Chains A and B, each alone.
Chain A
C-alpha cells in the first residue's frame, strides 16, 4: 500500500509543480487536473470513497473545466516567451521549506493529535448523509445559501442591462441583420476567364 501511496504522491506533486511552471496556461490547467486526480487517488487509498469520488466529480469534472473555459474565453492563447518562474525562486523555496518545517513541527507537537492512531472506522455514504442531515444541517444549509447567492450574483452580472431607448430593442437588432450588408442577395458570379485559361493551357 505504501508503494502506491508514494507513487501517487510523487505524481501529484510533480503535476502540481508542472501546473505552476509550465508556460502554456492550458497545459497548466490540465496538469492541475492531473494533480486533482492524484489527490482523489490518495483519498481512495485511505478508504474515503465518498470524498475521493466527490473530489473527482467536483474538481476534475467541474473546476478544471471551469478554469479551462475561463482561459479560453478571456485571453488569447499566446504563450509567454520567457519562463514564468521569477528569478527569486531560490528565496521562494527557502521560505516554503521554512513554512513547511514550522507547520510540521506545530502539527507533530500538538496535543490534539492522539498518541496512537485509532483503527479507521468504516464510514458508509449513509452515515455521512445522516450526519449531514442531523448534526451538520446548519452548516450544510449555510453553504447551500452561499452558493445560491454566488450563482444569482453571477447571473445578475452576466445579464444584459435593459436598453434605455425603447425605439429599437437590442434583441430585434441582433436577430435580424440587415440583408444587403451581411448576405449578398445574388450569388457571386464565377470568374469568367477561369475555364478559358485552363482550355488554352
Chain B
C-alpha cells in the first residue's frame, strides 16, 4: 500500500496518458510533467513568501502579515493580484526590447533546471546522462538575464546591481561546482538518478548520505554557502541591497515583471536547494531505514522546506557582507577548501573501507580549515572598530 502511495503520481501519469493514441503519448507525458513543475513550484513560492515574512517577523519581534486570510496566510494572493493590476512602467530611456525580455530570459533557464531533478522514486522529467552538467549549464544563462535587466534599465543603481550580481555569481559558481565534483568523483556518474541511488543504501539502519562522510560534510557546507550566494540571499544579497542600491538590477521593473523577477529568484533558490539535497542529503531517500515507508516525494519536499527554513533563518540573523569580504571569502577561503576537498574525496576512494580513511580524511580537512582560517584572520588585523563619521 505504501508502495502505491509512493508511486501515486507516476501511476496517475500513466493512467492519464493511457487514454490517448500511442503516437501522442510521449508528447502528452512531457506536457503533463512540465505542467506539474509549473504548478507545484510557483505554488511553493507563494507559500514560502508568506512563511518567510512571518518568520522574519517573528525573528524581528513583530507580527508580519496578519490581515488576509487565517493568520495572514493568504497574503500571497493579495500580493499576486496587486502585481497583476499595477501599471507596468518602463523608463523612457530604457532599451524596451531587452527590458521586456530580461524577466523571460530569467525564467526559462530556472524552469529548465527542474527537468533533471529527481523529486521522488521514478519521478524525474528528463534522464540525462550528464544531468549535473545540464543543471550548471542552464544556471549559467541566469547571469545573462541579470545583465540584460541591469543594462537595459539605463539606471546607475540597476547597472551597479547587475555588475555586483554577475561578479558574485561567477565567483561563487566555482566553489559550487567544485564541491559537486567531489560527489561526482565518488559516485562515478554525472547522472542525478545514479547519485541518488548510490546514497540509497543502509548500514545499521542509517543511510549512506554523502553528508555523513567528512568530504561530504565539508562539500555540503561549501555548497550551501555558495548556493546562498548564487540565489542572492542574505548575507550575500549585495546585488539587491534594498538599503543601498534599492533592489539593484530590478529597480526599474514594476507590476508583473517585478513579480516575475521575484518568482525567478525563488525558483532558482528552490532548484539549487533541490540539487544540494540530491547531491548530499540523499535526494528522496529517508535518513533511517525504519522510516523508508514514507513516500519519497514527501521526503524531498520536507528536506527542501527545511533548507529553505534555514535560508530564512540566516536572512533574519546575519548582516550583509561588504564587496571585498564577499570576494575574499570566495577566492581565498571557499576555493582552496573546495580544492582540498576534491583531493580528500580522491583519497577517500583509494583508501578503501575502514576506520583509517575516516581519520585521515577528517584530519586533513580539519587541518586545512584551521590553516586557511588562521592565515585569513592574520591578514585581517582585527581589533576594536573605530567609527570615523558616526560618533
Q: Do A62 and B98 contact each other (CB < 8 Å), given the known contacts A30-B148, A49-B128, A125-B190?
A: no
Say yes or no for B133: interface residue by CB 8 A criterion: yes
Q: How far is the CB of A10 from chain B (nearest CB, A)?
A: 19
- Hey, which chain B residues are within 8 Å of A57, CB to CB? 133, 136-137, 140
Interface residues on B, range: 20 to 34
Q: How far is the CB of A24 from chain B (nearest CB, A)?
A: 8
Say yes or no for A72: interface residue by CB 8 A criterion: yes
Which residues of A105-154 have CB atoms within 8 Å of chain B's CB atoms?
124-126
Give the segment of A63-71, A92-100, A190-198 that binds chain B. Answer: A63-71
Say yes or no for A26: interface residue by CB 8 A criterion: yes
Q: Do A65 and B144 contact each other (CB < 8 Å), given the known contacts A49-B129, A56-B138, A72-B151?
A: yes
Which residue of A26, A54, A62, A69 contacts B133 across the interface (Cβ within 8 Å)?
A54
A50 engages B144 (CB within 8 Å): no
CA distance A54 to B190 in the complex (A): 13
Which residue of B129, B136, B170, B389 contacts A183 across the interface (Cβ within 8 Å)?
B389
Say yes or no for B130: interface residue by CB 8 A criterion: yes
- Hey, which chain B residues are within 8 Å of A37, CB to CB? 141
Give the nearest-CB partner of B147 in chain A.
A68
Give the nearest-CB partner of A128 in chain B.
B130
Say yes or no for B143: interface residue by CB 8 A criterion: yes
- Hey, which chain B residues are within 8 Å of A26, CB to CB? 98, 151
Query: Binding site of B, secondary structure by majority: helix, strand, loop or mixed?
Result: helix
Give the nearest-CB partner of B177 in chain A.
A57
Query: Binding site of A, secondary structure by majority: helix, strand, loop or mixed?
Result: helix
Say yes or no for A61: interface residue by CB 8 A criterion: yes
CA distance A26 to B133 in the complex (A): 28
Say yes or no for A33: interface residue by CB 8 A criterion: yes
A53 engages B130 (CB within 8 Å): yes
Q: Do A56 and B129 contact each other (CB < 8 Å), given the known contacts A30-B148, A72-B151?
A: no
- Hey, which chain B residues are within 8 Å of A183, CB to CB? 389
Q: How far is the CB of B163 from chain A (nearest CB, A)?
A: 8
- Hey, which chain A residues are within 8 Å of B140, CB to CB? 56-57, 60-62
- Hey, which chain B residues are within 8 Å of A69, CB to CB? 163, 166
- Hey, which chain B residues are within 8 Å of A33, CB to CB? 144
Proximity bits, B122-142, A CB within 8 Å = 1, else 0: 000000111001101111110
- Hey, which chain A residues are within 8 Å of B188, CB to CB? 126
Say yes or no for A23: interface residue by CB 8 A criterion: no
Listed residue (B139, B144, B151) with the most chain A CB atoms within 10 angstroms of its CB? B144
Q: How far is the CB of B134 from chain A (nearest CB, A)?
A: 5
Q: How far is the CB of B66 from chain A (nearest CB, A)?
A: 39
CA distance A127 to B308 in the complex (A): 37
CA distance A33 to B141 in the complex (A): 9
Which residue of B128, B166, B190 contacts A65 across the interface (Cβ within 8 Å)?
B166
CA distance A125 to B130 in the complex (A): 7
Which residue of B137, B144, B148 contacts A54 across the interface (Cβ within 8 Å)?
B137
Listed residue (A50, A56, A60, A61) with the most chain B CB atoms within 10 angstroms of its CB? A61
Q: Do A126 and B189 contact each other (CB < 8 Å), given the known contacts A33-B144, A72-B151, A183-B389?
A: yes
Which residue of B130, B147, B170, B389 contacts A50 across the interface (Cβ within 8 Å)?
B130
A49 engages B143 (CB within 8 Å): no
CA distance A33 to B102 in the complex (A): 14
Which residue of A30, A49, A56, A65 contacts B98 across the interface (Cβ within 8 Å)?
A30
Proximity bits, B92-106, A CB within 8 Å = 1, else 0: 000100100000000
A49 engages B130 (CB within 8 Å): yes
CA distance A30 to B101 in the complex (A): 11
Q: How far is the CB of A97 from chain B (nearest CB, A)?
A: 31
Listed residue (B139, B140, B159, B190) with the most chain A CB atoms within 10 angstroms of its CB? B140
- Hey, which chain B residues are within 8 Å of A54, CB to CB? 133, 137
Proximity bits, A31-56, B CB within 8 Å = 1, else 0: 00100010000000000011001101
Q: How far is the CB of A40 from chain B (nearest CB, A)?
A: 8
CA distance A72 to B162 in the complex (A): 12
A64 engages B134 (CB within 8 Å): no
Proximity bits, B170-184, A CB within 8 Å = 1, else 0: 100000000000000
Question: Closest 3 A-B residue pairs measured CB to CB?
Answer: A61-B140, A56-B137, A57-B137
21 contacts between A and B (CB under 8 A): A26-B151, A30-B148, A33-B144, A49-B128, A53-B130, A54-B133, A56-B140, A56-B141, A57-B137, A60-B137, A60-B140, A61-B137, A64-B144, A68-B147, A68-B151, A69-B163, A72-B159, A125-B130, A126-B188, A179-B388, A183-B389
